Structure 1
Amino acid sequence: MTKLKVGVVGCGSIATHRHLPEYFQNKEVEIVAVCDVVEERATAAAQKYNATAYTDYQQLVQQTDIDAVSVCTPNYLHAPVSIAALEAGKHVLCEKPMATSREEADNMILAAEKAGKVLMIGHNQRFVASHQRARQLIEQGDLGKIYSFRTAFGHGGPEGWSVDGASSWFFKKDEAFIGALGDLGVHKADLIRYILGEEVTEVSAFIESNAKQNSNVDDNAVCLLRTESGIIGTLAASWAYVSAEDNSTIIYGEKGIMRLEDDPVYSLVVQYKDGSTVNYELGQIQSNESGGQTNTGVINHFVESILDNKKPLIDGDQGKQSLEVILAALESHEQKKNVQI
């Protein structure tokens, strides 16, 4: 059987810890090309996976033996690389946030439609077992009417994760466009939309850059969100949770409270109004701190979507809707007002 031939653009931490090993584990895939502006990184990845090394992504996407491309670059390159790959007839898996503006996101979606290719955004929180079970329980009415939520994603910052440490692109506005909100907050915006099965329609936000030196992007943000049915809640994103990561979500409903990734043993705990509690041991959420993810589910889903010719769970439209929440938060902070989506 012919394998799906894949190229990876960007050989930093997200590629070396997630995309490349997960493609390598997938029996349907052959890694044929890698690219990085730092030649040593591209060469090291190429040697490890027996691939061809490039330093120019334009050259990689033009290769006729490549079927699909992972975009693992700094945020400002997500749209240009994705569009170039789509226009060259490749399927694309792009890291989050998918773009730095609505216009870029729209252009990516349009390029995918024109090419008739899969465009998927790497929102891995949708593949976490506790999150999938929570969505299912809410959908079937287990909590009754949902009133409120709070969700947070925070850790000590990307300097411990990024291949460039404290001098990483994550801290540079011209390359990152946005800080903790884009790195972590957009994950939770996507998660809340997914779990509740509703769109966010209104956002208010406080955003600060008060924790990191040599940085000109946000490192702490707290947002108030309202959904289309009137569910209200908070979303916090931070690079200043110095002693431990927080990746928890709490859902408050008519019949009980649901705690996701909030307990050291049980990844989902449902506390019912009648006093009963149900603990779900579904495996802990994998994080950078826990030695890296062995399998996020993202790569396998992308590959499956291509081979089965079906729309991925997080296509361009879904990626854009989650980006919209973060763009609205920025606008709210700048204009000191609530912003409608």
Structure 2
Amino acid sequence: MLTWLVIGVGDITTRRVLPAILAEERSQLTGIVTRDPAKAAPYGVPAFTTLDAALKQLEAAAVYVASPVFLHAPQSIAALAAHRHVLCEKPLAMNLAEAERMVAQACKSGRTLGVAYYRRAYPKIHRARELIRRGVIGQPVLAWATCHTEVPGTKLHRSWLLDPAQAGGGPLYDIACHRIDILNFLFGEPARVAGQLSNVVHALTVEDSATVMIEYKNKLRAIVDVRWHSRIERDQFCIVGTEGELDLTPLNGPGLGYPGGQENLPTHANVHYPCVKNFVDAVLDGAPLLSSGGTALWTDWVTAQALKSHETRDSRPSVTP
């Protein structure tokens, strides 16, 4: 049995994380950290207003970090230093340096650090990986992913997503990271990255659009384009090979098309459940962890390189007529 302490009672935790923990047969919810203890009352477990108090008073073996991004590193490091396993929401941290410190602390403490990139558990992602390895589309040479939505968050609901001090950035941090992580899962270590960020429609304090190009060590190039200014939602994901292509559009749907075939591979009704179960299996049985701190580092590396590329894009020589 794996006992859990959950940090935060927000949108993701109430809709997905807490139901997943409660449904997982070898998991037991034993405490919640929240600024408003009344939010924990429906779950019948002790509520703590600070992580420090919870770690001192509760013997939970695992901590789920579901706080805004700026708290991921300090809270995860504190939990790992207290010899607790940690499953952290995405993205791993505000920057690569923080992410590296989290992974270093996990190694030092000898505890498991997982990251909730739950799309790694999608059945059609594993099927796509198998088809690529079988050579069904020949040599993969190009991949692209888009996620276009309207601006998320309101003053009362997830407004922290629009605050760079809490979220790190806009759609690059919130939705591009999922697609970058899947590309890394399919194609291995990225080698080079270029990125551009802009505010095309909305004058937000974070970008409302970001485009990232990644070149992998196997020479495949991938483009990820994410936007928070579209009234038409897009969730495209395609992989082009020398002999055909894989079409996973929409990425969050069950469909997978490939040369000579079309399959329907739905996800679990609660997409966080397979992620939580995999983490429990890794901690209790030593099963391979689908998304670890180590694999998530590469996603943070891509983000860091994209930001660096964007910041230096105007470093051109001036020409005087």
Equivalent residue for 1:298, pick from 275, 289, 294: 275
Q: What is the one-letter code of the residue matched to 2:178?
A: H
Distance 1:66 1:142 in 2: 46
Q: Tell me the CA shift for residue 311 of structure 1.
A: 4.5
Q: Tell me the CA shift for residue 263 of structure 1.
A: 9.0
1:70 aligns with 2:64: yes
1:43 aligns with 2:38: yes
Residues 79-112 of structure 1: per-residue CA shift (max 9 Å, x gap): 0000000011110000111011222111111111
1:19 corresponds in structure 2 to 17
Q: Tell me the CA shift for residue 65 of structure 1.
A: 1.8
Equivalent residue for 2:226, pick from 233, 237, 259: 237
Instruction: Give the SS at the match of 2:235.
Output: coil
Q: Tell me the CA shift for residue 174 of structure 1.
A: 0.9
1:83 aligns with 2:86: no
Q: Tell me the CA shift for residue 319 of structure 1.
A: 0.7
User: In structure 2, do the counterparts of structure 1 residues 88 and 333 end up closer, same or farther at CA, with 3 Å as the change threshold?
Assistant: same
1:183 aligns with 2:174: yes
Distance 2:254 2:16 in 1: 25
2:156 corresponds in structure 1 to 164
Q: What is the one-letter code of the residue matched to 1:314?
A: S
Q: What is the one-letter code of the residue matched to 1:232?
A: R
Within-5 A mapping of 1:1-341:
3-37=1-35, 39=36, 42-44=37-39, 46-159=40-153, 164-165=156-157, 168-196=159-187, 198-212=188-202, 215-244=204-233, 246-262=234-250, 267-270=255-258, 272=259, 277-283=260-266, 293=270, 295-336=272-313
User: In structure 2, do the counterparts of structure 1 residues 216 and 89 end up closer, same or farther at CA, with 3 Å as the change threshold?
Assistant: same
Instruction: Give the SS at the match of 2:311.
Output: helix
Residues 276-334 of structure 1: per-residue CA shift (max 9 Å, x gap): x3101112x68xxxxx8465411111111111134412111101111111111111111
Gaps of 5+ in 2: 316-321
User: In structure 2, do the counterparts of structure 1 residues 123 and 337 end up closer, same or farther at CA, with 3 Å as the change threshold?
Assistant: farther
Distance 1:34 1:211 in 2: 39
RMSD, aligned CA:
2.2
Distance 2:168 2:254 in 1: 36
Instruction: Give the SS at the match of 2:74.
Output: helix
Instruction: Give the SS at the match of 1:158.
Output: coil
User: In structure 2, do the counterparts of structure 1 residues 247 and 293 end up closer, same or farther at CA, with 3 Å as the change threshold?
Assistant: farther
Gaps of 5+ in 1: 287-291
1:289 corresponds in structure 2 to none
Distance 1:145 1:159 in 2: 41
User: In structure 2, do the counterparts of structure 1 residues 294 and 327 end up closer, same or farther at CA, with 3 Å as the change threshold?
Assistant: closer
Distance 1:116 1:263 in 2: 35
Distance 1:264 1:72 in 2: 21
Q: Does the 8 Å CA contact 1:33/1:51 hold for their aligned counterparts?
A: yes
Distance 1:224 1:265 in 2: 24
Q: Tell me the CA shift for residue 184 of structure 1.
A: 0.5
Q: What is the one-letter code of the residue matched to 2:171?
A: A
Q: Tell me the CA shift for residue 264 of structure 1.
A: 10
User: In structure 2, do the counterparts of structure 1 residues 279 and 311 end up closer, same or farther at CA, with 3 Å as the change threshold?
Assistant: closer
Distance 1:301 1:128 in 2: 12
Residues 210-267 of structure 1: per-residue CA shift (max 9 Å, x gap): 3445x311221111211112111211122223233x3321000012111003499861
Distance 1:177 1:75 in 2: 7
Q: Does the 8 Å CA contact 1:207/1:218 hold for their aligned counterparts?
A: yes
Structure 1 stretch 58-67 or stretch 94-103: which is displaced more? 58-67
Q: What is the one-letter code of the residue matched to 1:201?
A: A
Q: How many residues align?
A: 315
Residues 150-187 of structure 1: per-residue CA shift (max 9 Å, x gap): 11223223227xx933x711001111111110100111
Instruction: Give the SS at the match of 1:103.
Output: helix
User: In structure 2, do the counterparts of structure 1 residues 22 and 137 end up closer, same or farther at CA, with 3 Å as the change threshold?
Assistant: same
2:319 corresponds in structure 1 to none
